[in-house]
Amino acid sequence: MGALATNTVERTLDQDRFDYLLHLGDNALVLGQRMSEWVGHAPALELEMAVSNLALDLIGEAQLWLDLAGRIEGEGRDADRLANFRDALDFRNLLIVEQPNGDWAFTVARHYLFSLQHLAVVERLSESRDEEIADIARKVRPEIAYHVKFARSWIERLGDGTEESHARLQRAIDRLWRFTGEMFAPDAIEERLADEGIAPDLRTLEADWRAEVEQVFEASGGLDIPEVKRMTLGGREGHHSEHLGHLLCELQFLQRAYPGLEW
């Protein structure tokens, strides 16, 4: 009886770790795919190099999380398999990362708001009791710190730039804000993992995040934080916007059309 109970707990913990790693991996994968959409379309050659580097960082991060997820699952699925052969309903990413690029202001606003939370999460995960998770977090942390720095410099540049750049950035923030609540609203899985000392308690991260955003917005031509009555949630449970399906269509096309193709 005792042994059975222990087994049940272990199974649940692994299931939780698997789902949580999908969440981390899918955030990076989906945002990486979004950033890669700028290749060939960025406002300047220099920015083209910048976004493709950001995209590569994120795809590389996704690979680490998803490979670990596959090993924990133990059914022979690696990162490629998990990325290419799940449908939108099975993706656990935050809604903010799947929002279409829009203009450059929207892209950098999305990147700033998410990367700031992303950095706080990987900083905490670097101290995780789960050594495998902590190792990956320590590896990606400097990259994400650069993402924050890059995106913040664009918030300042556009916010404090021309009337048009300020207006475009404010419009982007107004449209994105309703997706920011989800970044600090853990589901039952993350709450259990936080209790285990594996994942951070997201609610403890929000105050610092908000303080930095307020400070940067204030210094960037006085950008306003919009009032949102109810935040949009659901990404972790697979309730995505219509945009994710289109994104996956492009991301997964090759492996769906030619399964197992390698080059």
Partner 1 sequence: MSNENWQLYEIFIRSAKGLSHRHVGSVHAADPEMAIEAARDIYTRRNEGVSIWAVPSSAITASDPDAAEELFEPAKSKIYRHPTFYEIPEGVENM
- Residue 35 identity (one-letter amino acid): M
Burial readout 143-156 (b: 16 or more C-beta within 10 A, e: otherwise): bbeebbebbbebbb
Question: How many CA atoms lie less than 13 Å away from 60 in the CB half-sphere?
Answer: 13
Instruction: Looking at residues 95 to 124 of the shown chain, list those that interact with partner 1 (rule: CB under 8 A).
Output: 104
Torsion of the alpha carbons at 47, 110, 197 and 137, rounded to the nearest 10: -10
Question: What span, in angstroms and rounded, lies between the C-alpha atoms of 257 and 263?
Answer: 15
How many amino acids of this chain bind partner 1 (CB under 8 A)? 12
Q: Which stretch binds partner 1 (CB under 8 A): 42-50, 66-74, 203-211, 234-242?
A: 42-50
Q: Which is nearer to partner 1, 13 or 47 (CB)?
A: 47
* Site for partner 1 contains 53 (CB under 8 A): yes
Scan for tokens 């769906």, then name that residue.
Answer: 256
Q: Which is nearer to partner 1, 164 or 214 (CB)?
A: 164
Q: Which stretch binds partner 1 (CB under 8 A): 37-45, 81-89, 177-185, 214-222?
A: 37-45
Count of H-run helices and E-run strands, the chain? 10, 0
Q: Which is nearer to partner 1, 165 or 232 (CB)?
A: 165
Q: DSSP state, 22? A: H
State the nearest-atom distance from the C-beta of 247 to partner 1, in Å: 24
State the nearest-atom distance from the C-beta of 68 to partner 1, in Å: 26
Q: Which of 1, 4, 5, 44 binds partner 1 (CB under 8 A)?
A: 44
What is the pattern of x (binds partner 1, CB under 8 A) and - over residues 61-100? ----------------------------------------
Q: Which of 49, 89, 207, 254 binds partner 1 (CB under 8 A)?
A: 49
Give the SS3 label for residue 187: coil
Give the residue from 43, 1, 46, 29 showing the smallest Cα distance to 97: 29
Give the residue from 94, 96, 101 showing the smallest Cα distance to 47: 101
Q: Which stretch binds partner 1 (CB under 8 A): 6-14, 44-52, 132-140, 183-191?
A: 44-52
The rounded Cα 174 to chain-centroid distance in angstroms is 19
Footprint on this chain of partner 1 (rule: CB under 8 A): 43-47, 49-50, 53, 104, 150, 153, 157
